[in-house]
Amino acid sequence: MKILMDGSDADVFRQLNEYLPLDGVTTNPSILAKGKGTAEEQVLQLADLLDKQQTLHVQVVSSKYERMIEEAKRISEALSRDVFIKIPVSPDGLKAVRSLSEEGIRTTVTGVYTTMQAVMAAKAGAAYIAPYINRIDLAHGDSEIVISQIVQTYRTYGFSTKVLAASFKNTRQVISVMEAGVEEVTLSTDILKNLIHHKETEKSMEAFTEDFASRFENRNEMFLT
């Protein structure tokens, strides 16, 4: 299981990565529009910060085939590291995925809501697909069923495309896709911070410190001289 940050703030990633074993970053035009600096500056800062094992997913803004191809190549050429180009699942998008795949540019098909969209993306040559978990539910679908179908279909037919689940509202949804066998998830900074926090854990830590201090002359460290 790989866990990525869905965001564009390099400073936030650096802080989280100090204690969370993060596996990369995903961005999209909406995230970049809310960030600090130009879109290019935000992406370049992230690219410089990530190590070789951590992945970066950057989305095109264009919606037409020719412009998607041009933009994907500009992004790839501008970065001195591997990058996955995010392409929306649409007629022009799938056409672009096929062309880019033939040229060795790896893609992440995003905006996936159905199993058949995921199948078509895999057949087009996508390295990843990004199903929108919470948005599937909001659109009166059942994300648990959709994700299970996608994972099982990929296994049955031997697709190499990986599932990078996105758009989560809470950690329960994260656990659900983990149980379904999803390889990777990308999470907002709020959800990432909540992955390891629990009020009972914090209460236990406080109790340990208080108990030790009450017995050993208010000292809160072992082996003091």
pTM of the model: 0.93
Predicted local distance difference test score (pLDDT) of residue 225: 58
Predicted local distance difference test score (pLDDT) of residue 80: 87
Predicted local distance difference test score (pLDDT) of residue 224: 67
The domain 2-195 having CATH identifier 1.10.10.10: the answer here is: no
2 tagged catalytic = no
Gap between the Cα atoms of 11 and 189, Å rounded? 12
Domain ranges of the chain: 2-195
Predicted local distance difference test score (pLDDT) of residue 19: 96
Predicted local distance difference test score (pLDDT) of residue 218: 64
pLDDT in tens, the chain (225 residues): 999 999 999 999 999 999 999 999 999 999 999 999 999 999 999 999 999 999 999 999 999 999 999 999 999 999 989 999 999 999 999 999 999 999 999 999 999 999 999 999 999 999 999 999 999 999 999 999 999 999 999 999 999 999 999 999 999 999 999 999 999 999 999 999 999 988 899 999 999 988 888 888 766 777 765
- Write out the E strands in 9-161: 24-26, 55-59, 84-88, 107-112, 128-131
Could you say which of 86, 123, 162, 169 is catalytic?
Answer: 86
Tokens for 143?
């994300």
Gap between the Cα atoms of 83 and 76, Å rounded? 7
